[in-house]
Amino acid sequence: MSTSNVSLKNWVDEVARLTQPASIYWCTGSDAENSNLIEAMLESGDLIKLNQTTHPNCYLHRSDPSDVARVEHLTFVCTRSKEDAGPNNNWMEPGEAHRKVDALFAGAMRGRTLYVIPYCMGPIDSPYSRCGVEITDSPYVVANMRIMTRMGTEALRRIEREGSFVKGLHSIGDLSPERRYIMHFPEELTIKSIGSGYGGNALLGKKCHALRIASWQARDEGWLAEHMLIMGLQNPEGRTHYIAAAFPSACGKTNLAMLVPPASMPGWKIWTVGDDICWMQVDDEGRLRAINPEAGYFGVVPGTNSKTNHNAYDMIRRDTIFTNVAVTADGQPWWEGLEEGTPTTNWKGQPYTPGDGPAAHPNSRFTVSAKRNPIYSTLADAPEGVPISAILFGGRRREVAPLVYEAHDWAHGVLVGAGMASETTAAAVGQTGVVRRDSMAMKPFCGYNFGDYWQHWLSFEHKAKQLPRIFHVNWFRRDAQGRFMWPGFGENLRVLRWITERCEGKVGAQETAIGHLPRRQDFDLYGLDVDTATLDALLSVDAAAWRTEMQEIGTYLDQFGARVPDALRAQQRKVLAALG
């Protein structure tokens, strides 16, 4: 198999000359191809077969211990102007970056197969979708990209029709952290990643294309590429609202996208459109419509069980690739938070001793087709996408942020998103538990200057006639003893119900300087095990704490200098003044 696209053929030939593979293979995405890859990886040790009775068609991959998370300090955006990349990105001059990384690619695939992976991000026939091609020497990447994207012959045919695609070059290299780079060239629609086999660094359709490169494309083409889940909420009367929500990694996005309604709220249904990435465009009627560009889930697995995320727990019991989990004596995958089983081998493949660190890596993952989700929305395959009623921002905040509040208007909502903060998690290399600003949960993923990005968000006030309402949520407030104040999980539907009823104009709110908060009488409290004092604390605004918060947001905005939109600074000053 080859291609009629001359540009693609020439690029593959050029990469082959540089990397010197033993052979070249064009991926079709077929079942037979996947079976052959799986068998070859089992033979090489890249995959380990798990208990096929309890977990049919499930396999384990172990990363190099130095290669278990995104490496933000080794991830670069390479634009001609450093200002275009912005302080939110590591920058390198494109010529220097190409020279540095190409020297590492020279001969990197000797003795290996070069795989050509044509893929489509989004439904294959959607005008909102965009295509790419990843070249890799990792069969593990091929198997994961088959799950995560629409990969293979149909994607190649679309590329040949349209003529355009994002170029992604990847090699595991020698897995040395000293020779590891993830380079993005948005002006060239090109990605080069070497020295890592870990998901976000190696599955180039995911964060690299669908966020860093796509955010640049979206700015140029007038749409939004966001780090957001997409979920449908169907009320007992049968009306469905679609919500997009941005949370930093490991802050419960997958759990929320697959929420199971509590028994005290009969008649509600949840539909998952996507759990991680959302592309939004203005439709002919002036509404924001969204597609999920992914076809699978690459989810954090620790903490997943039948109670915390019943749907995810069910779907990963078959047809799943696990990465860096522990294993029981009878070959079942195991991770912290699992209610059954005992690990005998840790994520490194060593005998597990209780008390000697976690058995599964805290950032261990599962890769599974979205169609395995029991509440998968068939509209995830709809070319026209779904209309978005509300956008949620949120993160892990022990203090300050109420359970939920609604922005005053779109421009204020952009400030809410720009100023959102969260405690860091194991999804990225570095210290955990540190509060950092993470605008729209895009700090590691926006492919250009945040100041320009916020201006792009503000511009939709003039592009769309029916903009979604914007809200901020915080499931992670703690009391003085460090205990979570809100039960979370299925009970989060109570918050989502208030949000959808605000969108329908059915319920009021208390007006505050930071936005509209629920009044207790407008909140569904039936069957809720939260005392009145705690609920009041969750739905209150500490003016002194918020003055500090808004001052810190102002300092944060200052990092981006003249690129910060005047309208955003005006919103920050307005809220600060209202706090007194």
Write out the catalytic residue numbers.
Answer: 251
* 364 labeled part of a ligand binding site: yes
- Position 423: which residue type? E
Q: Are 36 and 144 in contact (CB under 8 A)?
A: no
* 240 labeled part of a ligand binding site: no
Tokens of 219: 């700015």
* 251 labeled part of a ligand binding site: yes
Q: Are 363 and 69 in contact (CB under 8 A)?
A: yes
Helix and strand counts by DSSP (H, E) for the chain: 16, 30
* 363 labeled part of a ligand binding site: yes
* 200 labeled part of a ligand binding site: yes
* 70 labeled part of a ligand binding site: yes
Tokens of 107: 């001969």
Q: Which residues contact 460 (CB under 8 A, 6 or more apart)?
A: 224, 282, 288, 410, 467
* 365 labeled part of a ligand binding site: yes
* 396 labeled part of a ligand binding site: yes
CA distance 430 to 427: 9
473 - beta bridge partners? 394, 404
* 205 labeled part of a ligand binding site: no
Q: Which residues contact 251 (CB under 8 A, 6 or more apart)?
A: 394, 395, 396, 422, 425, 476
For the stretch 319-330, what's the b/e string if a residue is b when 16 or more beta carbons lie within 10 angstroms of its beta carbon? bbbbbbbbbbee
* 250 labeled part of a ligand binding site: yes
* 227 labeled part of a ligand binding site: yes
CA distance 317 to 478: 33
* 55 labeled part of a ligand binding site: no
Question: Other CB atoms closer than 10 Å to residue 168's CB: what's the count?
Answer: 26
Q: Is the dihedral of CA 83, 432, 569, 389 positive or negative?
A: positive
* 254 labeled part of a ligand binding site: yes
Q: Are 513 and 579 in contact (CB under 8 A)?
A: yes
For the stretch 192-230, what's the b/e string if a residue is b when 16 or more beta carbons lie within 10 angstroms of its beta carbon? bbbbbbbbbbbbbbbbbbbbbbbbbbbbeeebbbbbbbb
Q: 161-164 — which CB contacts under 8 Å span 24+ positions?
A: 162/131, 163/5, 163/7, 164/131, 164/189
* 340 labeled part of a ligand binding site: no
Q: Are 405 and 515 in contact (CB under 8 A)?
A: yes
Tokens of 16: 């082959």
Count of residues making up the chain = 580
Report residue 505 CA to chain centroid gap: 31
* 249 labeled part of a ligand binding site: yes
What is the side-by-side order of every strand in the sheet holding 326-328? 333-334, 326-328, 343-345
Tokens of 30: 């077929």
Question: Other CB atoms closer than 10 Å to residue 313's CB: what's the count?
Answer: 17
Q: What angle do CA 513, 249, 371 make, to 5 degrees?
A: 115
* 276 labeled part of a ligand binding site: yes
3-state secondary structure labels for all residues of 236-286: CCCCEEEEEEECCCCCCHHHHHCCCCCCCCCCCEEEEEECCCEEEEECCCC
Tokens of 304: 């997943």
CA distance 382 to 124: 10
Numbered residues of the known binding site for GTP: 250-255, 365, 396, 489-492
Numbered residues of the known binding site for Mn(2+): 207, 227, 276
Numbered residues of the known binding site for substrate: 70, 198-200, 249, 363-365
Numbered residues of the known binding site: 70, 198-200, 207, 227, 249-255, 276, 363-365, 396, 489-492
